[in-house]
């Protein structure tokens, strides 16, 4: 009871800050503006995955955090979200449940695992083109989020699954023009709400994003560590992607990620991992669309994905995705995906194999 009372107290404090904390910012001219617009929304992503390797456990792979159950219907992600938007300030608070938070937030203390978003922002300029945001926010890295409804494919790319989905810290964003935005971040670490015990070094990040007509280009970085001070290895990460709208029906996304981490504390030698990915999306009708994906993830030094095998994690993948969207807030999806590794990493019954074929289906409902 003490733990849940503590959670309720924290929630009330967060809600109070989100709703009222920034009203002191308003100057005389902003006092004449309308009240903030409040939006309450919900999200449900219910899935079923069948793995043809038929693993003996329901939990399939250690490097997947979405749809990672075999032969069962389950909730991947569900959340309830409250947002407040004003010309001069904004805030969002969302609570989550499902297999995704269960798997991806396993390193966080129990209360934090239920927080999907908790952040607030304030405009720092009269033109409202400079913003300061603080709290638990979606990561700036990559073009795939935890929300399947917004992604081109049902399952996430290997590189998306193994880079931050969320960050906790401070972000300053400047939008010098309609097309260009630049962000600087300081965070608690590589996908961490609570800082790693024993680590005194915060993480830092940047984002440069350009969006113009048929092109979106984004370059995102992270610098920091995921170690305590005693064995600190510095980590540098780069994510670059571009999305081209080829026509009213077709779009192409290409991305490349590369990371560097010191072999040991103070070392001048770095371990490297990288991943290219390409996705082609085609809308056949107003309700039907298809997506094709090719990807490769190489982590021979096992910095991110530990395999304890000769070649580390070197895996290529192909997938095809069909979507049916009969209504604006309802999306039905099915995807077939095949992975091929340099080593036998995948469970095949009670043995190991170097390939994995599985089919995932999902029904996604958004409520706004």
Strand pairing report for 130-138 and 115-123? antiparallel
Strand pairing report for 346-348 and 330-341? unpaired
Q: Tell me, what's the pLDDT at 359?
A: 98
Count other C-beta atoms under 10 Å from residue 351's C-beta: 9
Structure-token pair, residue 150? 């917004």
Segments in the chain forming alpha helices (H): 2-20, 99-104, 158-161
Count other C-beta atoms under 10 Å from residue 224's C-beta: 22
Q: Tell me, what's the pLDDT at 24?
A: 44
Residue 66 CB partners (closer than 8 Å, separation 6+): 76, 77, 99, 100, 146, 148, 155, 156, 161
Domains along the chain with CATH numbers: 2-367 (2.40.160.10)
pTM as predicted? 0.89
Q: Mean pLDDT, 10 residues at a time, over the chain (368 residues)?
A: 43 46 44 79 97 87 94 97 96 98 92 95 95 98 95 97 97 96 98 95 98 95 97 98 96 98 96 98 96 98 95 97 94 98 89 95 94
Q: Tell me, what's the pLDDT at 33?
A: 59
Residue 72 CB partners (closer than 8 Å, separation 6+): 48, 58
């Amino acid at each position: 009871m003490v733990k849940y009372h503590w959670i309720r107290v924290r929630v009330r404090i967060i809600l109070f800050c989100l709703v009222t904390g920034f009203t002191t910012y308003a100057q005389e001219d902003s006092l004449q503006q309308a009240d903030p617009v409040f939006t309450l929304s919900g999200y449900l992503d219910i899935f079923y995955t069948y793995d043809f390797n038929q693993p003996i456990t329901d939990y399939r792979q250690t490097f997947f955090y979405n749809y990672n159950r075999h032969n069962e219907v389950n909730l991947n992600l569900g959340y309830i979200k409250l947002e407040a938007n004003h010309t001069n300030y904004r805030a969002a608070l969302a609570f989550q449940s499902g297999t995704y938070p269960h798997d991806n937030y396993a390193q966080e203390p129990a209360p934090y695992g239920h927080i999907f978003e908790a952040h607030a922002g304030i405009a720092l300029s009269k033109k409202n083109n400079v913003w300061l945001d603080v709290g638990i926010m979606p990561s700036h890295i990559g073009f795939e989020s935890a929300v399947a409804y917004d992604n081109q494919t049902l399952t996430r790319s290997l590189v998306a699954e193994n880079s931050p989905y969320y960050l906790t810290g401070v972000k300053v964003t400047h939008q010098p023009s309609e097309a260009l935005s630049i962000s600087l971040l300081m965070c608690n670490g590589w996908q961490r709400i609570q800082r790693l015990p024993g680590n005194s070094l915060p993480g830092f990040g940047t984002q440069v994003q350009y969006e113009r007509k048929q092109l979106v280009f984004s370059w995102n970085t992270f610098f920091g560590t995921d170690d305590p001070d005693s064995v600190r290895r510095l980590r540098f990460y780069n994510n670059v992607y571009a999305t081209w709208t080829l026509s009213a029906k077709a779009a192409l996304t290409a991305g490349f990620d590369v990371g560097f981490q010191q072999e040991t504390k103070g070392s001048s030698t770095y371990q490297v991992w990288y991943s290219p990915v390409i996705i082609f999306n085609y809308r056949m009708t107003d309700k039907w669309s298809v997506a094709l994906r090719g990807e490769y993830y190489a982590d021979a030094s096992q910095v991110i994905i530990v395999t304890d095998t000769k070649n580390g994690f070197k895996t290529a993948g192909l997938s095809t995705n069909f979507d049916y969207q009969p209504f604006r807030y309802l999306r039905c999806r099915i995807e077939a995906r095949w992975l091929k590794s340099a080593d036998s990493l995948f469970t095949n019954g009670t043995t190991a194999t170097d390939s994995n074929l599985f089919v995932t289906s999902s029904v996604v409902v958004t409520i706004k």
